[in-house]
Amino acid sequence: MSLEIREADLNESDDAEAVVALLDEYARHPIGQSKPLTADVRARVIPGLREHPGALVLLACDGVDRVGVAVCFWGFSTFAGLPLINIHDLAVTARHRRKGAGRALMEDVLRRAREAGCAKVTLEVRDDNEPAKQLYKRLGFGPWTSPMLFVSRWL
């Protein structure tokens, strides 16, 4: 597999469709939400990402096939006084998992963060997602015990 990591062109239909398809496959998996994206979400996600000023969407491409996606958002660390990147979604299509696409996406995010002078890269991972946790540990993410909790309230 010869991978290229590049920024998605969300105005280009093939890239936009691939991002939605990759996110939908991720959503259908038990590690996602165990159900597909609704038609309404599928219709909103690309326009929403296009309009979000802090969105950074990367695609892992194997030739013409788009095999992975990282949906990230630029943020700011008030404790460091520097920008940060949050990886919101990292998804690789099932037939390309364990072949380096996830690692390549992560390394590209880390490279971009260093080049932008970021203080850190953040992400969240389910406690039962062992393959992802192992990848993140190998890339230096941690600590793996924390007094912090990630909570949300759906509106």
Transcribe the chain into DSSP letters.
Answer: --EEEEE--TTSHHHHHHHHHHHHHHHHSTTTTSSPPPHHHHHHHHHHHHH-TTEEEEEEEETTEEEEEEEEEEEEETTTTEEEEEEEEEEE-GGGTTTTHHHHHHHHHHHHHHHTT-SEEEE---TT-HHHHHHHHHTT---S--S--------
Instruction: Please name each of the domains of the chain with its CATH number.
Output: 3-138 (3.40.630.30)
pLDDT in tens, the chain (155 residues): 689 999 999 999 999 999 999 999 999 999 899 999 999 999 999 999 999 999 999 999 999 999 999 999 999 999 999 999 999 999 999 999 999 999 999 999 999 999 999 999 999 988 888 888 899 999 999 888 877 777 876 78
Name the pTM for this structure. 0.93
At 4, list the tokens.
Answer: 């290229």
